[in-house]
Amino acid sequence: MVKTPKRPVAGLPDKESLVAFLREAGEAEKADIARAFGLKGAERRALRDMLKELEAEGRLGKRGRKGFSEAGALPPVGVVDVVDRDADGELYVELVKSSEDAPRAVLMPDREGRGPAPGMGDRLLVKFSRGVEGWEARLVKRLDAGTNRVLGVIRKGGRETRVEPVDKRSKDVLLVPAAQATDLRDGDLVLAAVEKGEHRYGPKRGKIIENIGREDDPRAASIIAIHAHGVPTGFSEAVEREAEDQAVPTLKGREDLRHVPFITIDPADARDHDDAVYAERDEDPANAGGWIVWVAIADVAAYVRPNTALDREARAKGNSTYFPDRVEPMLPEVLSNGLCSLKQGENRACMAVRMVFDKDGRKTGHKFTRGLMRSHAKLSYEQAQSAIDGLLDDATGPIMEAILYPLWNAYRTMLKGRERRSPLAIESPERRIIMSPDGGIAGIEPRKSLEAHRLIEEMMIQANVCAAETLEKTHTPLIYRVHDTPSQEKIFNLADFLHTIGKPWN
């Protein structure tokens, strides 16, 4: 719908008013302009001449058969292709059907976080707006995202250069124009776009969008997965700058928890440390044999404020994505592996919950607090387990009596409450893939299930229960993660299986 100018002009407008109107409206047909200015008869014919003059002067451009817009302007809404990515990782889009003077627009992060971020070659429906540094586009809807692009390997033979898709289910082998093939080598991994046109006979034509790397690189599997699933990579300069400007907050509005000897227990190869734990005997005579259990997590919200560049980027990415040889983090490394990682001996902002359990493992109370903490030790699951089993090292020896024994005794008390709840326990074997320095697979070994794993799991479950109870108590909207009801077929299959082992079940 075309906007009416704020001050309708009686009679034929001058050229400046007409250009200003189209700048505000985005685009409009002659009939819409005439209606907005109240023009009739001869004035409409004069308007037609004025539009032609402004077009000849290069101040207006045609939009479709009848529409006009300010030269170099973009319509309010348009169908675009993602055509470029700059050094900061920002994507640029162009109208699918555009005049030569139509500018590119930078694609802004999707604030709603709807699915994987757009990638090179995707086709989108976007809204355009003028930004401080140029045109900006915001995602409305994905169209044929990915269907007009192919991730493949260059194959050279004779005079032809082809792109063979890495997805063996795809039959879109593309021919690459000779002009684009000069810098390509056999075995290059590329992203190509299927060019529009008739392809009734023979291979389709393709345009190389990006040369990604080598097919025989052991890290190619991760590269293929990143591009095939549209995993966003890198950060814009604005996001990096915002992250670099962050610092550990002061104690203002926070409880000083640096005296609490929290420790982190994580996989040996963990790149960051999200949570820490501590337990001690409850000195309250009314809770004899009971325990105080602390769980602290990194307070990411202290650094990622609503509607900032960091917040918009995090919403667009949705999560960190882990590959065997790399991580594509949701937040820049200065945060993900720095301020938001509970590093040993360093002050860190945290959200902590103090939970009280009685001697039978029943949770009798809890309290959340925003705090400033300092991890007293960094242990792997294997280190913590070995210490409890009697094998101490330089890290576990000094903290055995004061931290590790109380932690395990609190956990064993919590197990009494867990046994009463009778939760479903599924023990499934896991395998750990050992990577070589060049990105290849050096070996595969079973991952041991340790009591240390279950300790952290139980304490985190209880912390999440506390969070849910607190949110419900304050009538805050929240989402529960629940398992769907099994299908009738699965129930019948289970009944049949139980019958075969002598456990009839109706």
Q: Report the alpha-carbon distance of residue 224 to residue 170 in Å, rounded.
A: 15
Domain borders along the chain are 15-70, 77-142, 149-228, 246-299+325-473
- Angle (CA) 17 19 21, round 5°: 65
Residue 506: predicted pLDDT: 66
Per the document, the length of the chain is 506
Of 355, 338, 358, whose CA–CA distance to 347 is shortest? 338
Of 62, 58, 72, 12, whose CA–CA distance to 37 is shortest? 12
Strand-pair partners of 131: 134
Query: Which run of H or of E encompasses 354?
Result: strand 347-357
Question: What's the predicted TM-score (pTM) here?
Answer: 0.64
In the predicted model, is pLDDT for residue 5 greater than 50?
Answer: no
CATH for 15-70, options being 2.60.40.2240, 3.30.70.20, 3.40.50.360, 1.10.10.10: 1.10.10.10
Q: Report the alpha-carbon distance of residue 74 to residue 27 in Å, rounded.
A: 8
What the block records as the tokens of 306 is 């609503």
What the block records as the tokens of 105 is 């627009």
Which residue bears the tokens 């996989």? 267
DSSP 8-state symbol, 8: P
Residue 182: predicted pLDDT: 79
Residue 8: predicted pLDDT: 43
The CATH number that domain 149-228 falls under is 2.40.50.700
**What is the rounded average pLDDT of the residues 189-200?**
72
- Cα–Cα distances in angstroms (integers) from residue 342 to residues 62, 91, 215, 348, in the given order: 58, 33, 38, 6
**Residue 404 or 82, more confident:** 404
Residue 144: predicted pLDDT: 60
Confidence band, pLDDT 50/70/90 cuts, at residue 264: very high
pLDDT digits (tens, 9 = 90+) for 419-432: 998 887 777 778 88
Which residue bears the tokens 């052991």? 218
Average pLDDT, the chain: 85
pLDDT digits (tens, 9 = 90+) for 45-64: 888 888 888 877 777 777 66
**What is the rounded average pLDDT of the residues 214-233?**
79
Across 148-307, the runs of DSSP E, i.e. the strands, are 149-157, 160-165, 174-175, 188-194, 204-214, 255-256, 263-266, 275-281, 291-298
What the block records as the tokens of 60 is 């207006």
Residues 6 or more apart in contact with residue 211 via CB below 8 angstroms:
183, 184, 188, 189, 190
**What is the rounded average pLDDT of the residues 16-23?**
80
DSSP 8-state symbol, 37: H
Beta strand pairing status for 134-142 and 105-107?
parallel
Same fold flag, 77-142 and 149-228: yes
Strand-pair partners of 464: none
Q: Tell me which architecture the domain covering 77-142 has in CATH.
A: Beta Barrel (2.40)
Residues 6 or more apart in contact with residue 416 via CB below 8 angstroms:
360, 361
